[in-house]
Amino acid sequence: MKLRKVTAAAAVVLALTVSATACSSNGKNGGGASGDKIKVGIKYDQPGLGLKQPDGSFSGFDVDVATYVAKQLGYKPNQIEFVETKSADRENALARGDVKFIVATYSITDERKQKVDFAGPYLLAHQDLLVKKNAKIIKGKDLNGKKLCSVTGSTSAQNITKTIAPHAQLQQYSGYSECIAGLQTGAVDAVTTDDSILAGFAAQDKYKGQFKLAGLKLSNENYGIGVKKGDTATVNKINTALEKMVKDGSWAAAVKKNFGPADYKNEPAPKIGQIVK
């Protein structure tokens, strides 16, 4: 009798263990159903796109896109963990598995497609210049001999030095906030990156009225969502989510919410897989 009781008790423990394991496994396979988190790479210092607020919350168009996509993958907002992903570390972050996907003004290029896969594009931006309100820079070539700031690893810096103004004195910082601060103090003459990013900074209360966009379309920047190379299943799911976001009006609402205050003239929502050269 004692032997039967011990055996029965062990069987109950074993059954509970197997059940718990199965629940955990099912949660992982089914998205965020069991409370699992998903890590998503974003920028922390881009107003209007990806910005970490003083209270620890996040705001911006990229944040809204990432949240919508994660929801379509089965995750609730409280299951999303946003991870700061700087421009120079995006490919490595995906390769290491630090994040599931990256929504961080990540322009799709042939070079990057050798290392990562992209869903999208979800926004078409253009490289531009941010200068002081009274500056006379009106063309890209006017940057020759000027102090120009961009972020390490960005396509904007490469475009300037290779074709637009090879004699510009390029200074590369780790973040755009540093570039904007340098522009304010006069340490640099111009900041270059995508117009969507520059518009967000120019619209901030502390900078309002000090800067202007040069209005130059120096390049086409097709923002994509970066995914680990070979993860075709995730790419397909994200593309489906993006198509739904545009169709149900959430994309347009996010554009108005995040770019409206900066009077940013955005392009229409791009079609999935359509890259504008």
- pLDDT tens for 238-269 read 999 999 999 999 999 999 888 877 677 789 99
> Does 3.30.565.10 match the CATH number of domain 38-125+221-262?
no
| Domain at 126-213, CATH homologous superfamily | Periplasmic binding protein-like II (3.40.190.10)
Distance CA 157, CA 140 (A): 12
pLDDT at 31: 59
Per-residue pLDDT at 231: 98
d(CA 151, CA 172): 5
Reading the block at residue 58, the tokens are 């996040």
Model confidence pLDDT, tens digit, residues 102-146: 999 999 999 999 999 999 999 999 999 999 989 988 888 899 999
The answer to whether residue 19 scores a pLDDT higher than 70 is no
Classified as helix, coil or strand, 276 is coil
Rounded (5°) CA angle 6-12-16: 145
Q: Is the pLDDT of residue 29 over 50?
A: no
Q: Compute the distance between CA of residue 42 and CA of residue 107 in angstroms, rounded to an integer.
A: 13
Q: According to CATH, where is 3.40.190.10 located in the chain?
A: 38-125+221-262, 126-213
Q: How many residues does the chain have?
A: 277
The residue to which tokens 């390049």 are assigned = 219
Look at 15-24, 29-38, 193-202 and tell me which has the smallest mean pLDDT.
15-24
The type of residue at 61 is F
Query: CA of 124: how far to CAs of 113, 213, 262, in Å?
Result: 17, 17, 17
Three-state secondary structure call for residue 153? coil
Kind plus residue range of the DSSP H or E element containing 68: helix 61-72
- Angle at which helix 195-202 crosses helix 250-259, to 10 degrees, equals 50
- Residues 77 and 129: their CA atoms lie apart, in Å, by 35
Q: Is the pLDDT of residue 83 over 80?
A: yes
Nearest to 140 by CA among 127, 151, 152: 127
- Residue 48, both tokens: 């209007």
List, for residues 186-244, the tens digit of each pLDDT value.
Answer: 999 999 989 999 988 888 888 888 998 888 888 899 999 999 999 999 999 999 999 99
pTM: 0.78
Q: Where are the beta strands (DSSP E) in the chain?
A: 38-42, 45-46, 50-52, 58-59, 80-84, 101-107, 116-132, 147-151, 169-173, 190-194, 211-213, 220-228
Does the pLDDT of residue 95 top 80, yes or no? yes
- Secondary structure of residue 127 in the 3-state scheme: strand
Q: b/e for 230-242, b at 16 or more Cβ within 10 A? A: ebeebbebbbebb
Q: In angstroms, rounded to a whole number, what is the distance separating the alpha carbons of residues 176 and 198?
A: 9
Q: Which helix (H) or strand (E) holds 258?
A: helix 250-259
Judge contact between 130 and 199, C-beta under 8 A: no
Instruction: Tell me the C-alpha distance between 123 and 91, whole Å.
Output: 20
